[in-house]
Amino acid sequence: MIKKLKICLIILVCMFLTTGCWDEREINNQAIILGWGFDQNEDGDYIGSAQIVVPGEVGERSSGQGKGYIVETATGKSLLDVTQNLQRKLSRKVFSSHQKVIVIGERLARNGISNILDIYSREPELPIRTNFFVLKNGDALDLLEVPYKMEDMPSTAAMKMFQSTAGPESTTFKDFLEDASSEGISPTLPILEIISSKKEGNQEKEKDTETFRIGGRAIFNQDLELVGFLSYREAVDRLWIINKLNTHKLTTNLLREEGNVGILGMNFKSKIQPIIQNDRVEFHITLSGTGVVRENNTELDLKQPKNLQIIERSFNKNLQNHMISTITKVQKEYKTDILGFGQSVHKKYPRKWKIWKKYWSKKFSDADITVKVDIHIERTGVTGSPLHLKESEIQK
């Protein structure tokens, strides 16, 4: 009995003394990376830039000293290589589980990003749900160095900006992978743009007045090379078509009358009907939605149903035109199916799809498209006609 106890004790002591805590890492010895930027130089090497938290400065940020973060860069043949080289510059161990955004510079995006993706799904420390962005007109490093006042860390700002504008569609790495690996749809990524928010009369500090904003979408082809951009408004059209638009504020001019009307659109739905005739494909797209009038800069009295019809008609016509121009741009200019038309063909004509899928981008750009938009206005807000108008000015 005593012998057994002794053996147990010895084993226990050995366990404490001879084993290290292999996975243990003190938080003070971690370089917490929040944002990660990717660029490529002329030699084809990757440049990684990391936005790293400086914990000691975070608390003091409010008193005006220190930024709370630093940006470091390193080059390498691959992401792993870059990380290794980055570590040589850092006194603390690289810890990238808390990456909020990954920004890809435009040059790298145009060269193709398929070579940097694998590590994100293989390395356990890297979160698969990081948000991916493409920086339009610039290198990712530039973006990481732009300060952002409202958030402690600019990287979180980019993520939150996206969440508050784009609605439900996420662009995590996982979603990108899903689109990239499926047939009949090409992946897209959201865009970040560096803009100048320079105020008039304050021109000494050039850097401080830079900020960034969410742009539209970057279009990738099946080889994961950047082919072009959609503007923010065009990206909304795309979301509507792929049935992921939740709510969006739409404003349109009236067709015959003067002024414009703004609605809060909801319940957006889309239906893509492919029709194949004589080896040509035709798409009938039916888009519907409901709206609540939020702004009425016309003289119409919205209590009158006929006036509501005028507004609905204007919306339908204008939205339809915009939609057709967006689709045409995607079709003719980029020749990349980011709208999921291929998937609808796959569902309806599985046999045809097998033949077509190899040259789908060509088929896609040749397809005829008809769009029908049906916005139904359900409510008109608190007032009927604008209150500031005199009785005689209101058009009944």
Partner 1 sequence: MKLLLNLRKRKKFKLSEMIDSFSNEEPDKLISSDLSANECFLRDIFQQCSDVVFRVVPINNKTKLLFVYIDGLCDTKSLDEMMLNPVRTSEKKCEVFIFEEFVANQLRAVAQIKSTKNVNELINGILTANVAVLVEGETTALLADLKGFEKRSIEEPSSETVIRGPRDGFTETLRVNTSLIRKRIRSPRLKIESFTIGKLSKTDVAVVYIEKIASDSVIEEVRKRLESIEIDGVIETGYIEEFVEDFPFSPFPQIQNTERPDIVCGSLLEGKVSIFVDNTPFVLIVPMTFWSGLQAAEDYYERFIYVTFIRWIRYILFNISLLLPSIYVAVTTFHPQLIPTNLLISIASAREDVPFPLLFEAFMMELMFEALREAGIRLPKSIGSAVSIVGALVIGEAAVEAGIISAPMVIVVAATGIASFAVPRYNFGTAYRLLRFPILILAGLFGLYGVILGIVAILIHLVHLQSFGVPYLSPIAPQNPKYLKDVLVRAPRWSMHRRPIKVAGQDKTRIPEGRRTKT
Q: Virtual CA dihedral for 372, 191, 84, 24, nearest 10 degrees?
A: -80
Q: Is residue 387 a contact point for partner 1 (CB under 8 A)? A: no
The interface region with partner 1, picked from 21-29, 107-115, 165-173, 253-261 by CB under 8 A, is 21-29
The interface region with partner 1, picked from 23-31, 166-174, 257-265, 276-284 by CB under 8 A, is 23-31
Cα–Cα dist 213/144, whole Å = 13
Q: Is residue 30 a contact point for partner 1 (CB under 8 A)? A: yes
Interface with partner 1 (CB under 8 A), residue from 23, 258, 279, 391: 23
| Sign, Cα dihedral of 232, 237, 242, 248 | positive
Reading the block at residue 85, the tokens are: 């080289």
Cα–Cα dist 369/357, whole Å = 19
**How near is the Cβ of 103 to partner 1 at its closest, in Å?**
17
Which residues lie across from 301 on neighbouring strands?
Answer: none
Q: Is residue 95 a contact point for partner 1 (CB under 8 A)? A: yes
Cα–Cα dist 35/67, whole Å = 15
Per DSSP, the residues of 156-167 read: HHHHHHHHHHHT
Cα–Cα dist 217/136, whole Å = 10
Length of the chain: 396
Interface with partner 1 (CB under 8 A), residue from 97, 251, 321, 395: 97
**How near is the Cβ of 24 to partner 1 at its closest, in Å?**
5
- The residues in 31-70 that bind partner 1, with binding defined as CB under 8 A, are 32, 34, 53, 55-59
The interface region with partner 1, picked from 92-100, 133-141, 334-342, 381-389 by CB under 8 A, is 92-100
Closer by beta carbon to partner 1, 98 or else 198? 98
**How near is the Cβ of 49 to partner 1 at its closest, in Å?**
19
- Measured distance between the N- and C-terminal CA atoms of the chain, rounded to whole angstroms: 101
Gyration radius of the chain's alpha carbons: 27
The interface region with partner 1, picked from 91-99, 199-207, 317-325, 333-341 by CB under 8 A, is 91-99
- The residues in 212-251 that bind partner 1, with binding defined as CB under 8 A, are none
Which residues lie across from 133 on neighbouring strands?
Answer: 103
Q: Do 176 and 226 touch, CB atoms closer than 8 A?
A: no
Cα–Cα dist 103/237, whole Å = 24
**How near is the Cβ of 303 to partner 1 at its closest, in Å?**
48
- The residues in 101-160 that bind partner 1, with binding defined as CB under 8 A, are 125, 127, 152-153, 156
* Tally of CA atoms within 13 A in the half-sphere of 187 that contains its CB: 26
Residues sharing a CB contact under 8 Å with residue 113, sequence separation 6 or more, in sequence order: 38, 104, 220, 224, 225
Closer by beta carbon to partner 1, 125 or else 366? 125
Reading the block at residue 175, the tokens are: 């979603």
Closer by beta carbon to partner 1, 56 or else 259? 56
**How near is the Cβ of 91 to partner 1 at its closest, in Å?**
13
Identity of the amino acid at 139: D
Interface with partner 1 (CB under 8 A), residue from 6, 11, 25, 255: 25
Identity of the amino acid at 2: I
Closer by beta carbon to partner 1, 24 or else 391? 24
The interface region with partner 1, picked from 97-105, 173-181, 206-214, 228-236 by CB under 8 A, is 97-105
- Binding site residues, partner 1, CB under 8 A: 1-2, 5, 16, 21, 23-28, 30, 32, 34, 53, 55-59, 95, 97-98, 100, 125, 127, 152-153, 156
